[in-house]
Amino acid sequence: MKERILKELNQNRRSFISGQYLSDRLGISRTAVWKYINALKKQGYEIEAIPNKGYRLVTSPDVLIAEEVYPLLKTSVLGRKVIHSEKLASTSLLAKEIAPQQQEGTVVIAEEQTGGRGRLGRKWYSPRGGGIWASLILKPRIRPEKAYQLTQVAAVAVVKAIKETTGVSAGIKWPNDIIINGKKVCGILTEMNAEADAVNHIILSIGLNVSPGQEDMPPDLRDKMTFLDVECGFSVSRKGLLAALLGELERVYFKFLEQGFEAVAEDCRRFSVLLGREVRVEQMDRVFQGRAVQITGDGALLVQTAEGRVEVISGDVSVRGVYGYL
């Protein structure tokens, strides 16, 4: 019902609409209308109320609730259902829990994560309203061994959405980090639930830093991380960015499903900040250095070492530039 009231208010932003009109149109009492208006105010909507004239929506908050995101979406599957929370331990945890009952494309979003995680359980800093902290539930009909490619599919979409929304050219530090001016602006985490030869679901989590707000960055991240606002010099609307991200992701994801990773690989190469550079590869059991020379049609990173070419598959490695973080 709140959503319907908001729709009415949004359609009549230039004029006042009376409580009576809303009550007749939506078939609820005027007291109920008043209660919903108050609930919207609590969510951050600025609504002018004048006796005998009615209500007028002045500004909407930049929160990632369904009512704000749906009108901006141009997708047919991704984000058609938004589950929004003010605070979660992690969006990925909730997404994993509910995935079996949810349709593909459902997205879990939190304004703040208290226990956000990256790969290998590393902490992901997710301050309140500071970014897009989201986990998408995907149910692709692909073989489980292809699932790691989705990380790079998402990375391409993030780079495109950043460009579209801010004009800034970001790069991909293979396979899962998005970099601007040598600092990390976004991390991507792909977690799979599968049988031996079929995927049940994949949780694609994206942490995209937008605005530092009032909070001090953790000291250990200060030189490593950045925010979109800082890089583009204006205040980025998170809901607009989320809609752009879901739009790009749907395009690249469908392309991947229809044509395979090969069709996305060229964008991965184009946006890569590693190709042509010296890198250090850390795997579970060994560490080696070499020059990143190619991203293959399967999404592996080819590294030229003194001993020959090594094909590095995502998931069990982390790659760092030898001269600092990149």
Out of 45, 54, 99, 119, the only residue in the binding site for ligand ADP (CB under 6 A) is: 119
Stretch of residues binding ligand ADP (CB under 6 A), selected from 24-32, 88-96, 119-127, 137-145: 119-127
In whole angstroms, what separates CA 153 from the centre of its chain? 13
Out of 18, 21, 118, 313, the only residue in the binding site for ligand ADP (CB under 6 A) is: 118
Binding mask of the shown chain, residues 288 to 307, with x at each position contacting ligand ADP by CB under 6 A: --------------------
Out of 151, 176, 190, 314, the only residue in the binding site for ligand ADP (CB under 6 A) is: 176
Tell me the closest approach of the beta carbon of residue 247 to ligand ADP, in angstroms.
23
Tell me which residues in 52-111 interact with ligand ADP (CB under 6 A).
none
Tokens of 77: 């599957």
Closest of 153, 99, 154 to residue 132, by C-alpha: 154
* Residue of minimal Cβ distance to ligand ADP: 118
DSSP codes of every residue in 111-155: EEESS-B-GGG-B----TTSEEEEEEEE---S-GGGTTHHHHHHH
Tell me the closest approach of the beta carbon of residue 300 to ligand ADP, in angstroms.
16
CA distance 229 to 252: 25
Tell me the closest approach of the beta carbon of residue 197 to ligand ADP, in angstroms.
28
Tell me the closest approach of the beta carbon of residue 187 to ligand ADP, in angstroms.
4
Regarding 148 and contact with ligand ADP (CB under 6 A), the answer is no
CA distance 79 to 138: 11
Tokens of 42: 């609590």
CB-wise, 79 or 116, nearer to ligand ADP? Answer: 116
Tokens of 18: 């009376």
Stretch of residues binding ligand ADP (CB under 6 A), selected from 40-48, 106-114, 118-126, 284-292: 118-126
Out of 184, 201, 238, 239, the only residue in the binding site for ligand ADP (CB under 6 A) is: 184
Stretch of residues binding ligand ADP (CB under 6 A), selected from 16-24, 27-35, 41-49, 115-123: 115-123
Q: Alpha helices of the chain — where are they, by DSSP H?
A: 2-11, 19-26, 30-42, 66-69, 91-98, 149-166, 228-232, 238-259, 262-271
Stretch of residues binding ligand ADP (CB under 6 A), selected from 12-20, 121-129, 197-205, 262-270: 121-129
Closest of 285, 282, 269, 270 to residue 312, by C-alpha: 282
Closest of 150, 205, 207 to residue 178, by C-alpha: 207
CB-wise, 227 or 256, nearer to ligand ADP? Answer: 227
Per the CB < 8 A criterion, the answer to whether 256 and 250 are in contact is no
Out of 225, 268, 275, 301, the only residue in the binding site for ligand ADP (CB under 6 A) is: 225
Compute the radius of gyration of the chain from its Cα atoms.
22
Stretch of residues binding ligand ADP (CB under 6 A), selected from 150-158, 221-229, 231-239, 275-283: 221-229
CA distance 163 to 73: 17
* Binding residues vs ligand ADP (CB under 6 A): 118-119, 122-125, 176-177, 184, 187, 207, 209, 221, 224-225, 318
